[in-house]
Structure 1
Amino acid sequence: MAINFTVNGEKITTELNPLTRLIDFLRDELKLTGTKEGCGEGECGACAVFLDKKVVNSCLIPIALCEGKEIITIEGYTKTEKGKIVVQAFLDEGAVQCGFCTPGMVMSSEAILSSTKGKPTEDDVRKGLSGNLCRCTGYDHIVNAVLRASDAASKEGKNLWQ
């Protein structure tokens, strides 16, 4: 059974077992290794990707559910203007240490910024990141990075998340 979808704008067709996890397809078949597997149970957020503009844990998604969908990984997102702003904010705030959680945190940050139209409160950020685990940096730096990304876009005279 052919399964058709797009990944980072590229049309994909695969005939893998429909129960193959999306994370395994991304990492093993497409070599998009920015998406990390932490827990494999949807608890840590390291495997976060966008599936039709909604952040999901790719370790929980069978490839069959991707039929006709658009998937954006950390590799695709960081090439966008919004992605560059978020990544720079993470760097400026020291919100990256070992880096394992960073792709999921960045993807979740985009979801927070989009859902708040680029104007999140600290509470919005903390709630939005609640499904992501970090063992190194601590959450204050990450929260500050999301708020900085919002401020950076506003200072440039545009809000990319409206």
Structure 2
Amino acid sequence: MTDHAAFVVLPDMLTQAWDPWLDPREIETEAPTGPGAYLLALRLVSATALPPRLSRPDLTALTPGWYLYAGSARGPGGLRARVRRHARANKARRWHVDWLTCTADVLQGVFVQPGGHECALIAEARARLAVAVPVPGFGASDCRRCPAHLVEFDDAEI
């Protein structure tokens, strides 16, 4: 089902902040089929190009490290269908996060919240953890409340 490598143990701060995390291999059986929100724990092992619309002269790629991306699933198949798509490395690049998840070995874990909202999850991440917004507007082009739906961990936190 997934093109990604074996699940890597998430940093303690993630498992303490949100429980339980799904291993990407568990999506098919454990992720709910209803609507809600999710967090993707992403680990970039090399610099990864940004979507052209978000790239600028001083920032064309994300640096290696840990990231959290918050999204929502309101369509057919709900959370299971959306996170299943994110778990595949081979797909068309439709959303900002696809530029990251098309990179092999990037998806490390998924937290799903049935009925939840991605803005609340990213606000919680910003409140609970030492994170930074690496790219303003990433994943939040239709959001007026959040600076981005992608945050990066400070290297000291990992």
Report the TM-score, using the length of structure 1 for normalisation: 0.28
Higher relative contact order (CA 8 A, sep 6+): 2
More helix by share: 1
Which has a greater percent of strand?
A: 2
Task: Return the TM-score normalized by structure 2.
Answer: 0.28
Name which one, 1 or 2, has greater alpha-carbon Rg.
Answer: 1
